[in-house]
A and B are shown apart, each in its own frame.
Chain A
Amino acid sequence: MRNKLALLGTLSIVLLISLGTFAPLLSPSAPDQQNITERLQAPSQKHLLGTDDLGRDALSRMLYSARISLTVGIVAVLIAITLGTLIGMLSGYFGGATDTILMRFVDVMLCFPTFFLLLMVLAFLEPSILNIIIVIGFTAWPGVARIVRAEVLSIKQRDFISASKLLAVSKSRIFLRHILPNVFGPILVSATLGIGDAILAESGLSFLGLGVQPPDASWGQMLSAGKEYIHIAWWLSVFPGVAILITVLSFNLLGEGIREKLNPRK
């Protein structure tokens, strides 16, 4: 049953990525094409998901938003994974003072209401897509670092590592060829689940006006703009949220599927 769900998640991710990639071909009109005479129209055959306060076609904007939300999620997670893996491996492999300092820092980061930090940094920097990616990437690594460290600690004790050391294999080779491939599984799981979290963070920030800025569209920002018209135009407050939900759900299903595959006992 779980594998079917993971497959469903994968298919849905592929579909979302294709929708984003082919947005120019699929959208009924340009995402920023305004038409004041057709503002705030309810979903109809002409505008499947309705129009916003400037008469822009909501479906077209949502398709273009898919590009931004997916890019932000994936790139931010790549940054977080790279940092987290590096720091976790250093910490786990060398132990001692390195470990203590790095892990105390991780403790601090994990106790921090991260969203506050995100808000603060983005409010001070210019909110832009690049800045959002960097800021989310730089706040999401501590969880990864902790997982990687725990894995490295347990692998370090195994016999094949002692054997490599006896064979005088260089430290960097042990690091890259023997330890890294063994922590790859948990990293992949936290990366997949992390994409969902990053997309949620981006949408939350955009919703508060500190994320993606107009005229660029992101689902969170569409919800933020739609909130002003919640009394008269429910569709603007509903469909972008469904898109976020489906996207995050798909990545989570895939992540859980991979976890199950790697660790069949649980």
Chain B
Amino acid sequence: MVPILIGITIITFAAMHFAPGNPASLATDMNLKASSQTHERLVKLYGLDKPWYSQYFSWLKRVVKLDFGDSFKDGRPAIKKIFERLPASILLNALSLFLIFAIAIPIGVISAIKRNTLTDKALTFFVFIGYAMPAFWFALLLMLLFGLKLGWLPISGLHSINYSELSFTDKILDVSKHLILPVCASALTGVASLARYTRTSMIEALSQNFIKTAYAKGLSENTIIYRHALRNALLPIITIAGLSLPALIGGGFIFETIFAYPGMGRLGFDAIMARDYPVIMATATIAAFLTLLGNLLADISYFIADPRIRHGGK
């Protein structure tokens, strides 16, 4: 896990440094009054005159102590800026993940049980559409329909303007309303791909010999499907869900920008546009760390769900 994390930070760092232009020239080019001396001073200040690998190592040394440096933009610690935004992003991603499971698994299971019927074909059709649809366009359509035409839901931010005056329950209601559209938009692709995997996995589980045995024993249809088949079908899905985290976090960069959502993705996007190196590196590191943490959780759930692994193959 740690080597992967280091690998990711090296790639990000290298990509950033081999790209033309640096924050010092960005800061001075935009300002006609800035002399070349100012430029030199900025380069020295940021350590940009040293080779990239030595910059990387000094960065790494500081990061071990959780010091990601200060933002070029406002001089505040990068890690502090991220921690301010992190809860909102985690809330959005956790809700999306929950929605993905809640919708995709039933769709996949129903499709598999009613394999090759009209129901299955209709569900598969929608799953294919969902998979091919650009999720940011889906977000636009949601804004257009529920935000503008019907006026039911707010289309940007996380709070209303009068948020601080609201009572506690109204605050929760207000935040929930703001969350509905971003959560739905960011869940779309995940729902489509997980539903497909669930269908395949479930069909495979239903064709196993122990299912035939269960039928032969005279168990009820429901017991067979939910206790015997589904449990086995869910195993590979746990891994898939873990692997889908990078896409979910990556999608955050689009959705948080579209919905003006105050999360880490938008912070990262703004940092990229401003070439705010410390914040970019901190965002990449935290995003990678969350992804790996998700994969670790998937492995642990796998361990809990699969008695064969739990009992060490005995």
Contact = CB atoms under 8 A, between A and B. Distances in A.
Interface string B1-37: 0011001100110011001110000000000000000
A115 B269 CA distance: 11
B225 to A, nearest CB: 20
Interface in B97-148: 121, 128-129, 131-134, 136-137, 140-141, 143-144, 148
A266 interface: yes
Nearest to A244: B134
Contacts of B275: 123-124
A111 B134 contact: no
Interface stretch (A47-55, A73-81, A173-181, A200-208): A200-208
Contacts of A204: 134, 136, 254
A190 interface: no
Contacts of A266: 200
A248 B143 contact: no
B250 interface: yes
Interface of B is mostly: helix
Interface in A169-192: none
A119 B21 CA distance: 15
A108 B9 CA distance: 10
B7 A104 contact: yes
A252 interface: yes
B15 A120 contact: yes
A119 B269 contact: yes
A116 B284 contact: yes
A114 interface: yes
**Interface bracket on B:** 35 or more
B254 A249 contact: no
B12 A120 contact: yes
B24 to A, nearest CB: 14
B241 to A, nearest CB: 14
B129 to A, nearest CB: 7
Interface string A206-222: 01100000000000100
B77 interface: no
A115 B129 CA distance: 22
A207 B251 CA distance: 13
Contacts, number: 133
Given A108-B4, A266-B200, A208 B140 contact: no
A119 B249 CA distance: 13
Interface in A224-255: 227, 230-231, 234, 237-238, 240-241, 244-245, 248-249, 252-253
B272 A119 contact: yes
Contacts of A207: 134, 136, 254
B94 to A, nearest CB: 16
A245 B21 CA distance: 36
Central interface residue in A109, A123, A220, A234, by most chain B CB within 10 Å: A123
Contact of B137 (A108, A223, A252): A223
A22 interface: no
A130 interface: no
A110 interface: yes
Contacts of B16: 120, 124
Contact of A112 (B8, B141, B143): B8
B246 A110 contact: yes
Interface in B208-238: none
A120 B20 CA distance: 12
Nearest to A125: B19
A119 B16 CA distance: 11
Contacts of A238: 141, 144
A10 to B, nearest CB: 15
A234 B144 contact: yes
Contacts of B12: 117, 120
Central interface residue in B11, B134, B292, B295, by most chain A CB within 10 Å: B134
Contacts of B133: 241, 244-245, 248
Contacts of A25: none
A1 interface: yes
Contacts of B247: 113, 115
Contacts of A237: 137, 140-141, 144
A112 B4 CA distance: 9
A1 B121 contact: yes
Nearest to A114: B250
Contact of A120 (B131, B144, B280): B280
B263 interface: no
B182 interface: no
27 contacts: A105-B7, A107-B7, A108-B8, A111-B246, A112-B11, A113-B247, A113-B249, A113-B253, A114-B250, A115-B250, A116-B287, A119-B253, A119-B269, A119-B272, A120-B284, A121-B19, A124-B16, A124-B19, A125-B19, A203-B137, A207-B254, A230-B143, A231-B148, A238-B144, A241-B140, A249-B129, A253-B128
Given A237-B141, A241-B137, A244-B133, 15 more contacts: A104-B3, A105-B7, A111-B291, A111-B295, A112-B8, A116-B284, A117-B12, A123-B275, A124-B21, A207-B254, A223-B140, A237-B140, A238-B144, A249-B128, A253-B128
The 6 lowest CB-CB distance pairs between A and B, nearest first, are A124-B19, A115-B250, A241-B137, A113-B250, A108-B7, A249-B132
